[in-house]
Amino acid sequence: MKTNRLSTFIFLFIINISTAMAQDQFSIHDYADFMRYEKANSALKAPTSEEKRVVFMGNSITEAWVSYSPDFFNDNNYIGRGISGQVTHQMLLRFQADVIALKPKAVVILAGTNDIAQNSGPVSVNEIAMNIKSMAAIAKQNGIKVILCSVLPAKDYPWKPNMNPLKKIPELNAQIEAYAKANNMIYADLFSAMEDGNGGMKVPDYTTADDLVHPNKAGYAVMESIIKPILDTVLSDNKN
């Protein structure tokens, strides 16, 4: 029943986007930014059966992670597929091209904060969660192990103030965690490790006072200390 509801949601989502294209000459290709990693994806060789490839799907937090910690990605065969500013329905649109087609053993999904910031307009916490669940379900259906990350703490969004992240981020994280547990997926609680006790990210430990959202190098080091052991365990397990 859950699978049917999810399939219906994805179908209706595609229909709505297709309608927008017809009415407004809307380009899914441009909106989802398929071009961002098109050449990099084409240059990747098909993984061998022994290769433990991992794709990190996300927004600017994931995109900057590769820049801050190139060795973390290069040494571990991790592939970053974050795009700055993106919301979860944009990621869902490019999920096939930037994750499934790369045939990874696992995917790390870190998404949702830009939705709460309303980068692409108003959206409910339930709708954000559904997009994340859809990506996770598609990965699982393709035999890819799923690590769902909590949204990182944020006191506010400097580029979009008063979006109430102190309330909405914990609500979204609760849904992500519940879904992971119900579907035999891993929930990586980054929030608790980086939170300042009041719902924001620790300043100046893990972010700056004029940012509040994006981790600094020390923040990424904390994230890596959580994610790496999870992936080591997941990738050593031969079960799907």
Task: Report domain extents, the chain.
Answer: 1-31, 45-236
Please state whether the peptide bond connecting residue 170 to the residue before it is cis, i.e. omega within 30 degrees of 0.
Answer: no
Q: Mark 121-135 as b/e (b = at least 16 C-beta within 10 Å).
A: eebebeebbbbbbbb
Would you state the pLDDT for residue 109?
99
Residues 6 or more apart whose Cβ sits within 8 Å of residue 204? 216
Burial class (CB in 10 A: 0-12, 13-18, 19+), 171: middle
Q: Which of 38, 194, 185, 54 is nearest to 113 (CA)?
A: 194
Please provide the CATH number assigned to the domain covering 45-236: 3.40.50.1110
DSSP E strand boundaries for 111-175: 145-149
Q: What is the CB-side half-sphere exposure of residue 227 using CA atoms within 13 A? A: 27
pLDDT digits (tens, 9 = 90+) for 91-144: 999 999 999 999 999 999 999 999 999 999 999 999 999 999 999 999 999 999
Integer Cα distance of 148 and 173 in angstroms = 10
pTM: 0.88
Integer Cα distance of 114 and 172 in angstroms = 12
pLDDT at 226 over 90: yes
pLDDT at 232 over 60: yes
